[in-house]
Amino acid sequence: MQLALFIVFGALALGGALNLLLQRHPIHSALSLVVVMMSLAVLYWSLGAEFLAAAQVIVYSGAIMVLFVFVIMLLNAGEEERTQGSRAAYTVGFPGAAAIFCLLSFVFLSERNAMKASDIGGDLSNAVDNIAQLSAMLFTQQLLPFEVTSILILVAILGAVVLARREQ
Amino acid sequence: MTHLTDFELFLLLSVLKVAVVLVVTLLGVAYTVLLERKLLARMQNRWGPSRVGPFGLLQPLVDGAKSFLKEDMNPLAVERPLFILAPIIALGCALISMSVVPFGAVTRVNGVDMFQIANVNIGLLVVLGVTSIGVYGITLSGWSSNNKYSLLGSLRSTAQVISYELALGLSLVGVVLRAQSLNLRVIVDSQAAHGILSWNIFGGFQFVAFFIYLMAAFAETNRAPFDLPEAENELVAGYHTEYSSMKFAMFFMAEYANMITVSCVATLLFLGGSTSVFGHLFDGFLNTPVANAIFPVCWFVAKVFAFLALYIWVRGTLPRFRYDQLMGFGWKFLLPLAMANIIVTSFILAVRG
């Protein structure tokens, strides 16, 4: 069951990501990204990270991507034009992507024992309530990074307000 | 039933539950429309639908048949796949939230809880998440219709839903703090001790949160007095101007299904869910398994019905907001009030706990 979920939604995430690159209209690309986000949320859930899954859906698919779509609609962006591709993409992009892929596979394969045989969705069968654990962790051991992140976001909000009110 | 394995039995019962809940919700949607037309008519000193069947009770069925049989027109310049996808997203998201709602007390048949489709630990977040996905239906319908009124309606609606989602989410934090869980079943149980006195709206002192939730929920479902996305005197019909036949009916059903979902969530979070108004006062009375299964469902339906009636009453009473008033109200009044409510609630809980 859990393996089936993983295969279906992993494939959906990959398909969405490819579609994001291949679609020519910005709205279609943005919607493909929504599909990727939702599939990732299901994958998180099948690994037992319920809160992360819900946050992924609410924050990314529900708020950030809606804003993306909103802006694309407002700007009435047209279809993108196809070019032959820049030379930088061929000289740096493809080798870079290949290098990152190799590095990640090397790390995952060499650390396979440390991660154990990951029990995909094992937590789904006897789900524990991990929100209490998560919040205890955030407010004790990770308190400083948590508060610093909050202040960072507050500064960003203030900056946005100042920029928006500049003309008055 | 002994020749079925546990898994087959679970699958069978789950499919049965989904089918029953779907049919009951859709019937509920149809009759909420009739209820609204009847109640509004009485408030305006009219009769309302009264010709089809006794008291007009068959009106929703006839309306449904009419929607099916009408010509399904597709304007030429629409963005085809999204134009068709939009009503499906709207209706789908409106119906999915019902899957985590507990309708009655825990009643197990062969180990399967019969009055809830899925009991998940983050039930409340699932409802919020699905609601926030539902906005795509309206956004995409407005954009893909290739019509300026549709686009304006959907822009208004998107901005409105995103703004009021914050106040809605924050108003629920007080309830979550009191129940110490996001599981809807646990939240209901936290209000079960003394009947009406331990409901979050009274005994829990969450009435501020309830009124924030009430107003944010009206805005989330695009209902009066916040029905700017389809303000007919400014925008023809808003985001569904170009839709006809069954595709229009799907938007219409989505609006009422959303109303029912919001009423269910309000019942669960503030009005004690499926628990009795009298608490455990009449527990000895009619203490049979069947009665114990049926009465909580009746309480739940009665509370949802009362909340729906409130929706209709407000629509019959209040005029529509102006757009800047709507935004100012959401950001400058509801949001700070919700935050103050969180701070006061957590302070009191910390002092008492």
pLDDT in tens, A145-162: 989 999 999 999 899 888
User: Taking CB atoms and an 8 Å limit, are B125 and A51 in contact across chains?
Assistant: yes
Count the domains in chain A.
2
In B, residues 66-125, which contact A (CB 8 Å cutoff)? 79, 82, 120-122, 125
Lowest mean pLDDT across A92-101, B271-280, B344-353: B271-280
Long-range pairs for A132-141: beta carbons < 8 A, 24 or more residues apart: A132/B180, A134/A51
Of A58, A74, A132, the CB nearest to B129: A58
Q: How far apart are the first and last CA of chain B?
A: 49
- The whole-number average pLDDT for the span B5-30 is 85
Asked if the peptide bond before residue B225 counts as cis, ω within 30 degrees of 0, the response is yes
User: Taking CB atoms and an 8 Å limit, are A131 and B128 in contact across chains?
Assistant: no
In B, residues 141-160, which contact A (CB 8 Å cutoff)? 142-143, 151, 154-155, 158-159
Q: DSSP for A103-146?
A: HHHHHHHHTTTTT-S--TTHHHHT---HHHHHHHHHHTTTHHHH
CA angle B279-B283-B287, nearest 5°?
A: 145
User: How far does the CA of residue B187 sit from the closest CA of chain A (Å)?
Assistant: 14
pLDDT beyond 60 at A122: no
Place B115 in a pLDDT band, splitting at 50, 70 and 90: confident
When mean pLDDT is compared over B69-73, B221-225, B332-336, the highest value belongs to B332-336
Distance CA B148, CA B158 (A): 15
Q: Are A121 and A48 in contact (CB under 8 A)?
A: yes
pLDDT beyond 70 at A127: no
Greatest CA separation for chain B: 66
A124, A78: one domain: yes
A63, A8: one domain: yes
Interface mutation vs chain B, best among A38, A57, A135, most B CBs within 10 Å: A57
User: Taking CB atoms and an 8 Å limit, are B132 and A66 in contact across chains?
Assistant: yes
Residues of B in contact with A74 (CB under 8 A): 155
Residues of B in contact with A38 (CB under 8 A): 133
**pLDDT tens column, B132-160:** 888 888 888 888 887 778 888 888 888 88
User: Taking CB atoms and an 8 Å limit, are B143 and A27 in contact across chains?
Assistant: yes
When mean pLDDT is compared over A81-85, B54-58, B92-96, B228-232, the highest value belongs to B92-96
Q: Which residue from B minimizes the CA distance to A69?
A: B139
Of B120, B125, B140, the CB nearest to A58: B125
Q: Which residue from A minimizes the CA distance to B81?
A: A28
pTM of the model: 0.83
Q: What is the 3-state secondary structure (H, E, C) of chain B?
A: CCCCCHHHHHHHHHHHHHHHHHHHHHHHHHHHHHHHHHHHHHHCCCCCCCCCCHHHCCHHHHHHHHHHHCCCCCCCCCCHHHHHHHHHHHHHHHHHHHHHCCCCCCCEECCEECCCCCCCCCHHHHHHHHHHHHHHHHHHHHHHCCCHHHHHHHHHHHHHHHHHHHHHHHHCHHHHHHHCCCCHHHHHHCCCCCHHHHCCCCCCCCHHHHHHHHHHHHHHCCCCCCCHHHCHHHHCCHHHCCCCHHHHHHHHHHHHHHHHHHHHHHHHHHCCCCCCCCCCCCCCCCCCHHHHHHHHHHHHHHHHHHHHHHHHHHHHHCCCCCHHHHHHHHHHHHHHHHHHHHHHHHHHHHHHC
pLDDT at A117: 53
Chain centroid offset of residue B50 CA: 27
Interchain CB contact of A36 with B (< 8 Å): no
Residues whose CB falls within 8 Å of the CB of residue B71, separated by 6 or more in sequence, listed in order: B244, B245
pLDDT at A80: 67
How far CA A163 is from CA of A2, A159, A166, in Å, comes to 47, 6, 5
User: Taking CB atoms and an 8 Å limit, are A69 and B136 in contact across chains?
Assistant: yes
Given the structure tokens 């609609």, which residue do they identify? Answer: A73
Distance CA B165, CA B133 (A): 11
A114, A57: one domain: yes
- The whole-number average pLDDT for the span B111-139 is 82
Q: Report the CATH number that the domain containing residue A95 is assigned in CATH.
A: 1.20.120.1200
Interchain CB contact of B235 with A (< 8 Å): no
Q: Are B18 and B117 in contact (CB under 8 A)?
A: yes
Lowest mean pLDDT across B102-111, B146-155, B292-301: B102-111
- The whole-number average pLDDT for the span A163-167 is 78
Q: Are B222 and B256 in contact (CB under 8 A)?
A: no
Chain centroid offset of residue B282 CA: 30
A103, A150: one domain: no
A26, A76: one domain: yes
User: How far does the CA of residue A105 sit from the closest CA of chain B (Å)?
Assistant: 33
Distance CA A69, CA B285 (A): 56
Place A103 in a pLDDT band, splitting at 50, 70 and 90: very high
Of A27, A62, A132, the CB nearest to B132: A62
pLDDT at B233: 67
A51, A70: one domain: yes
Residues whose CB falls within 8 Å of the CB of residue B175, separated by 6 or more in sequence, listed in order: B187, B200, B204, B206, B209, B269, B270
Least Cα distance to B75 among B150, B135, B130 occurs for B150
pLDDT at A153: 92
A106, A155: one domain: no
User: Taking CB atoms and an 8 Å limit, are B122 and A70 in contact across chains?
Assistant: no
A64, A96: one domain: yes
Distance CA A107, CA A119 (A): 19
The number of C-beta contacts closer than 8 angstroms across A and B is 72
Give the residue numbers spanning the domain of A156.
129-168
**Amino acid residing at B325:** Q
A167 secondary structure, DSSP code: T
Least Cα distance to A135 among A52, A37, A17 occurs for A52
pLDDT beyond 70 at B188: yes
A137, A163: one domain: yes
How far CA B122 is from CA of B85, B132, B331, in Å, comes to 28, 15, 27
Place B288 in a pLDDT band, splitting at 50, 70 and 90: confident
A76, A137: one domain: no
Residues whose CB falls within 8 Å of the CB of residue B235, separated by 6 or more in sequence, listed in order: B149, B152, B153, B229, B241
- The whole-number average pLDDT for the span B186-207 is 77
Least Cα distance to A77 among A36, A32, A16, A24 occurs for A24
A117, A143: one domain: no
User: Taking CB atoms and an 8 Å limit, are A70 and B158 in contact across chains?
Assistant: yes
Q: Are B52 and B58 in contact (CB under 8 A)?
A: yes
Residue B226: count other Cβ atoms within 10 Å of its Cβ. 24
Interface mutation vs chain A, best among B127, B133, B186, most A CBs within 10 Å: B133
Residues of B in contact with A55 (CB under 8 A): 125
A76, A149: one domain: no
Distance CA B258, CA B73 (A): 26
